[in-house]
Structure formats: structure tokens, C-alpha cells
Structure 1
Amino acid sequence: MRFDFVPFFNPGENIPWNRVVKMMREQTNLAEQADFTTVWLTEHHFAHNGYLNAPPNPIMMSLDLASHSKKIRVGQAPIVLPDWHPLRVAEDIALLDNMTEGRVDFGVAKGINERVTLQFNKDADRRDNEKSYRLFMESLEVILKAWTKDPFSHKGEFYEFPVPGWKETNRFLMPLEKEYHSEKGEYTGMYIHPRPYQDPHPPVWLMSNSPHTYKLAAERGFKVIGMSSPPGKLESCWDAYANAESHDGAKYQRGDGVGVCTVIYVAETMEQADKDARAAINGYYEYLSGSRPEGSWTRKAYLDDDANPTDEDLNGEWFDFLMKYELIWVGDADYVAEKIDKLNKSIGLNHIMLLQQFPGFDYQKILKSMALFSERVMPRFNPDGV
């Protein structure tokens, strides 16, 4: 079983960011001592209300946490590629990979529909979902070309590299290298440095709950992490991955190459866990559901397609709904371990990303929950390593 985590960043309150950074370092050190595999950094911007108080730059945050630890891997969950220039991402991640000597998991996604994207790139406006998806895929294509081809070039819907029209005139560079220049001196092929430390590059992780994305990932040699879902939806995604024709002919079993990001909170007793987390989880999921007005994160959407939610499911507290359908694991160590073991045996779960983003929550309780999880839950499962 592989255990990863996303650091708590105090959502719901804007506290000084030097404190947030120190909190993330402390959590990462605790996780490293407990043999977590990867710390994952999310990306959000313009958090005037504190709810999106995650690092605006998960690459820089990854470097900081790697420099304050010794062995834990650092990942991005995700880098929202449409909001970035792909050549910058290729360079920055390759540099991070060298600085950490291969401790990078490269996580990417298209991102959700929010106000942020238009501030960076009008082509990335996720109100046009198809266009932003094409931009996402082209950006990832550029990055992989830059890491693996020498020289590389690209011409797509959104980007062309090298940009046509540059003719080298620097006499120091004469005679020009033919692989990068035409006979007339035009720049025709590119190279980025450094090359990634990992060969051929850091593992690529997509963040998704779509069977289409899982199939695509398996075909291209990527891995996938999705948000907690009912077993039927997990199975449809994981089977799409396992049944895909992989790029290298590898045969996957259900659960290979995939993970689940799950809200987990551990207390000494079930009653204490409920008391601690109920209000915060209600607030967190109210916020999430409000962020997707088209209804994709309503309560019905959290269930299997053939499920019929009751009136209580639709109108009661989020906490009770999520606990009923085991979409969050909040309780004592026995309860949480039981939920992990159940999915491990039933559908092959072997990779968990622990999430504890509770608005207005006491940070010391986060540390206590992580300690209980690492001391009383993780030892019941065999470690899976990197």
C-alpha cells in the first residue's frame, strides 16, 4: 500500500504565508518519518477569502519541501497546465528533478472552471471545456517533446516552436549546428536544459475522475489519481486503465497505476472524530459544490450512476451523506483501516492520497490525526515503496 498526502494549508483563513510554509514543512517531516511516499502540492491563486489558500506555485513549494526533507518525493496535484507556458514548465520541472536527484512526481490537469484562468491565458477559459482540454493536451505534448527529443520542434493549434523567423547572426556561434539551424541560419530545432534527472523523465500523473482520461493515461504510460468516488465509478475508471492497450505492451491489473485522493481524519474515538470534523467537512463540501454551478459536484454526482439518493441524502448534512456512502473516512484508527482494507480486497486499492483541507480547523488536530494515521493505520498494510 502506498500512502501520499496533501499538506493542510489552513483554508478559510488568510494567515501569514511564512506560517503556512512552516506548517507544510512540519507536516512533510512527520510524513517522511512515517514513510509516506509523496507530498503533493495543489495550485490556486488570488485567495482573497482564504478558501483557495494553496501555494500559487506548486513547483517552488515542491523545491522548498524537498530541501527541508531527505527522501520523501514531491509532486504537484496538479500543475494547471493551461495557465502556464509549457516550455517554462518543462525547464522548471527538469531543474527541480535535478535539484532533488529524482524525487519528483509530475502531476498535471486541465483545472476546474474558476475565475483564475482568464487572468493568465484567454485560450484556457474553462467555460469552453473542449478548447481548454485541447490546450492542456498540447501543452503536455510540448513538455514531453522538450524532455525526450533533441532537437525538438512543435507546431500545433496553440503553440509553434521554434517560433518562425529567427535567424542566427552571432558570429561566435558560427558555423551553425545543422541539427538546430537551416542552411540559411534560421532557428529550426530546440533544446532545453537541464534534461530531467529521471530517465526519460519524472513519472507523469494525471488528476481525473473520467474513464476516458484513465484509458488515455494507460496508453501513454501515465498514472492517474482521482478524487474519492463510490466503488462503481472507481471500477469503471480503473478498468478503463487496466484494459487499455499500454504504450509498451505492459499488462495492468485493476489498481495498478492509479490512486485515490480521500478525505481522512483520525481521532482517538469515533465520537471525537465526528465532533472535531463534522462542521469543517460540511463547510468544505458546501464550498466545493458551490464552485461547480453546472451540477457536476452535487450529491447525486458523488454516487454511482444507477444509485437513487433519498431525501435525507439530498437534504441532510454533507458529513452524514459522505460517511453513509464511505466517501470520506472519519473515525478512529480501526474504522479508517477497515475502509482501506475493504477497498483493497474488493477493487484492488493500493494507493491513497490523504486529504485534510478543513476550513477553520485547529492545526494541532491535523498533526494529531497524521500521527494517529501513521502510528495505528499504516503499519497494518505492507509498504509499496516508490
Structure 2
Amino acid sequence: MEFGIFLNGFIPGPAAHDRASEHLGLRRELDLAIKADKHNWKYVWFGEHHALTEYSHMSAPEVLMGYVAAKTERIHLCTGINSLSPRKEHPVRYAERAAMLDHITEGRFEWGTGRGAGSHEVASFNIMDTNSTKAEWDEVAPQIVRMWEQYDYSFHGEHFTVPTPHNILPKPYGHSHPPIWMACGNPGSFAKAGSLGIGAIAFNFEPIYNLKGRIQAYKEAAENPTEILGDYQNNNVMMTNGVICLSDRKRAREIALRGQAGYLVTLVNLYHDTMPKSTDGITWPTPPTDLSSLGGDELLDQLIAGGFLLCGTPEEVCEQVAAYQEVGCDQLVFGLSANLTHDEYHEQIELFGDKVIPEFDKNPEHSTSVYRRNAGGPKYPPFNGPVNEELVHSVLPANAILGLDGQPQG
């Protein structure tokens, strides 16, 4: 099992309306990604949301990725998620940006995709319905791979067109393309991701064992994919959850029971109207339930047993992680708990990375890197139409990297 952190630009309370605080909050999340790179974490996922006050101010994650890429060496940088509606942005821009990030990170970029999280944010792009986003994803996602691989790309679809041949640039880094992922919710979407040979991104808002059937649907479909979307299979299920892992057990449990424990969930309930609300259904600005008043330690033990969160010392958390292995998760990713201070985040990233991750992740190489390295070759031919053999270089400037004979020069 591999591990990652999930950054979302979460800036709660009055700070969301104070520019200096907003700046500090975003910079603090970048610091956490850089810290994770030094403590065995393999992935950092960057959310992308629009106009979701407090919940997520990370509207342009690719900018942050460029900064983090320059400050890190090993950790993979992933979009979680890039929604693909052509009404939001032309698909050529998705292909260009992903390929450029692939170069900047030298193969450490991973492309997580989806339909979008809710009606409020897509309305900021004049999208007043979400009914067609599934059909848009189905059309756009395979075309991005074609854009990455072909030199005379054109397309006439229902949702977007590139009417004449164009070479979409740059091409991805190396011989293949970034790993592809899709956000999943119901069993059908898990099976769809498996059948397309792409990774499944799952968000856990219910008992972990409830997800076993969905993960099985993915794994069964992944055994015999109907048509792999890219030029290799990314056989991975990523699951998000929360964790409080500290050396002091009592302090970890006290933090878990803090009165503001469910604050973030109230914002999820407010904005994410394309999926069911949490079991308590509490929506901002209604305050979250004070867990300490509902049973305290006994309730916390029930939540831990149900897989709603992980909590305790590294030894205890190791036992809890095993449940995720049991249901078939390949990658476990933790969002930033609303209960922790910034200093406590740093403490946790170091402690979990040094004490827990080595117990489960024995391979220094990322699984997605292995899949990509073993890619058999491009899925599509380099050209759709005939090539004019008379179009050849006859002269090159001095700073050309390859000469007319194709050999390095300068």
C-alpha cells in the first residue's frame, strides 16, 4: 500500500475573506507537500475547485504544482480532480497543461480527472446543469491521449471540435504519458474505471467496509479491461480519509473529539450536491456536532472501528491501516483534518511518514512509475493523414539541439 496527502486550499472562517490570511493558508499547504517529500510519502493530490468559499481556494493547482516540483525530488503531484467539461475549458488546454506539468516534474505528474463536484462551482463557468458532464467526460478523456500522441490531431465531436489538423504541444515527458485516474462514487463508476485501465479515486464518507463491493467491482473489471484508455493500465484504487497520528495517544484522541471536528464536513454538505450528504446531514452554517457530548471515547472507538478516521499512536494507526488493505485499497490518502493546527500537521506528516509508511510500503518505486515504464508503446498512430515527404529541414539555427542528421549538436 502507498500513501499520499490531499491539499485543497482549505481556509476556514474569517481568514477566507482576508487576503493576507488566504495567502498564508495557501503557502502553508505548499510547505506540507514539501515536508511530505522528505518523509516517505509518495503522492500529493491537489484539489481543484472554483468559488467554494472556505472549503477550497485552490482554483489553479497547476501553478502550485510547479512551485512544489521545484522544491521536491520524489513525490508525485496529482490533480484531484481536473473536471473535463468543454464548457469550462477547451480540451486542448487540458492536454497542453498536463503535458507541460509532466515535463516540469520529469514524470512525477499524475492526471486525475472527473465530472466535477457540484452545481455551485460549475455555475461560475455558466454551466447551469450537470446532466451532460458524464457524456462530456466520455468524449474528452480518450481524446486527450490522442492529443498527446498524434502530430496532426483533429476531431469533430458532439461537445468540442478541433476542425483542422494541429500538433498539440508539448508532448508528454519520455516515451509514454502521465498515469490517468477517474473520480468514482457508485459501483458502476468503479467498474468503468477498471474496464478502462485507469486508476479509481474514491472519497470515503462512510464505513470502510461499505466500500468493499465497489473496490471489488473495480478489481474484477481491471482483470479484463474492455479498452485501456491510454497506452498502459494503471491498476490502482486510491481512497481518501482522515488521520490523527501523534506520539501522545491521549492528545490525539482529544484532538479528534474537539468541537470543530465536523466543520469541514458541513462545507462538503453545502457544496457537493452531486453526491449524498454525510450521515449527520449537517450543513454550514449549522455548527457541527460536538462529539465529546455524544459519547466521547466510546463514540470515537466506534468511528475508528467503522473506518471513518484513523486515530492514535503510530502503532495503533498501523493496525487501523490494515483494514484498508483488507478491502483492497492500493493507495491511502489523507486530507487535512480541520482539528489540527499547522504545527500539528507538520508533526503528523513526519511521524506517520517515518513510523507507519515503512510498515506497509516496502517498494521505493511508485507503482504508477512501474506501470508507465512498462508501457508497450503509443495507443494511436503518430499521423492520421498522409505525410508530405517533401517537407524536410534544409537549414537550422545554431541553437538547434539536433542537427539535420538527427544527431546532437552544439
TMscore range, shorter length: 0.7 to 0.9
Percent sequence identity over aligned pairs? 20
Distance in structure 1 (CA, Å) of the matches to 2:124 and 2:92: 19
- The answer to whether 1:67 aligns with 2:70 is yes
Segment drifting more, 34-43 vs 371-380: 371-380
Match of 1:371 in 2: 350
Distance in structure 2 (CA, Å) of the matches to 1:280 and 1:300: 14
- The answer to whether 1:274 aligns with 2:266 is no
Distance in structure 2 (CA, Å) of the matches to 1:29 and 1:367: 10
Match of 1:132 in 2: 133
Match of 2:28 in 1: 23
Match of 1:158 in 2: 159
Distance in structure 1 (CA, Å) of the matches to 2:110 and 2:351: 26
Tell me, yes or no, if the aligned pair for 2:95 and 2:147 is still in contact at 8 Å. Answer: yes
- The answer to whether 1:211 aligns with 2:183 is no
State the Cα distance separating 1:231 from its structure 2 match.
4.1
Distance in structure 2 (CA, Å) of the matches to 1:230 and 1:297: 14
State the Cα distance separating 1:286 from its structure 2 match.
2.5
Distance in structure 1 (CA, Å) of the matches to 2:130 and 2:294: 33
State the Cα distance separating 1:202 from its structure 2 match.
0.4
Distance in structure 1 (CA, Å) of the matches to 2:51 and 2:146: 32
1:30 alignment partner, SS class: helix
Tell me, yes or no, if the aligned pair for 1:273 and 1:330 is still in contact at 8 Å. Answer: yes
2:333 maps to a residue whose letter is: M
Distance in structure 1 (CA, Å) of the matches to 2:100 and 2:238: 26
Distance 1:8 1:322, change over 3 A: farther
Segment drifting more, 6-15 vs 346-355: 6-15
2:334 alignment partner, SS class: strand
Distance 1:216 1:328, change over 3 A: same
Tell me, yes or no, if the aligned pair for 1:264 and 1:354 is still in contact at 8 Å. Answer: yes
| Structure 1 unaligned regions, length at least 5 | 163-187, 250-254, 302-312
2:120 alignment partner, SS class: coil
Residues 1-386 of structure 1 aligned to structure 2 (within 5 Å): 1-7=1-7, 9-12=9-12, 13-14=15-16, 15-47=20-52, 49-53=53-57, 55-82=58-85, 83-122=88-127, 125=128, 127-129=129-131, 131-162=132-163, 188-228=164-204, 229-244=206-221, 245-247=224-226, 256-278=235-257, 279-292=259-272, 296-299=276-279, 320=300, 322-344=303-325, 346-358=326-338, 361-384=340-363, 385-386=365-366
Distance in structure 1 (CA, Å) of the matches to 2:220 and 2:112: 23
Tell me, yes or no, if the aligned pair for 1:40 and 1:77 is still in contact at 8 Å. Answer: yes
| Structure 2 unaligned regions, length at least 5 | 229-233, 282-290, 367-410
Distance in structure 2 (CA, Å) of the matches to 1:287 and 1:51: 6
Distance in structure 2 (CA, Å) of the matches to 1:4 and 1:363: 18
State the Cα distance separating 1:121 from its structure 2 match.
4.1
Distance in structure 1 (CA, Å) of the matches to 2:30 and 2:11: 17
Distance 1:69 1:382, change over 3 A: closer
The two structures have a TM-score, normalised by structure 2, of 0.74
Distance in structure 1 (CA, Å) of the matches to 2:182 and 2:251: 35
Distance 1:364 1:114, change over 3 A: farther
2:211 maps to a residue whose letter is: L
Tell me, yes or no, if the aligned pair for 2:10 and 2:56 is still in contact at 8 Å. Answer: no
Tell me, yes or no, if the aligned pair for 1:8 and 1:357 is still in contact at 8 Å. Answer: no
The number of aligned residues is: 336
Tell me, yes or no, if the aligned pair for 2:208 and 2:308 is still in contact at 8 Å. Answer: no
2:153 alignment partner, SS class: coil
Distance 1:383 1:23, change over 3 A: farther
Distance 1:198 1:221, change over 3 A: farther
Tell me, yes or no, if the aligned pair for 1:38 and 1:72 is still in contact at 8 Å. Answer: yes
1:80 maps to a residue whose letter is: S
Tell me, yes or no, if the aligned pair for 1:2 and 1:383 is still in contact at 8 Å. Answer: no
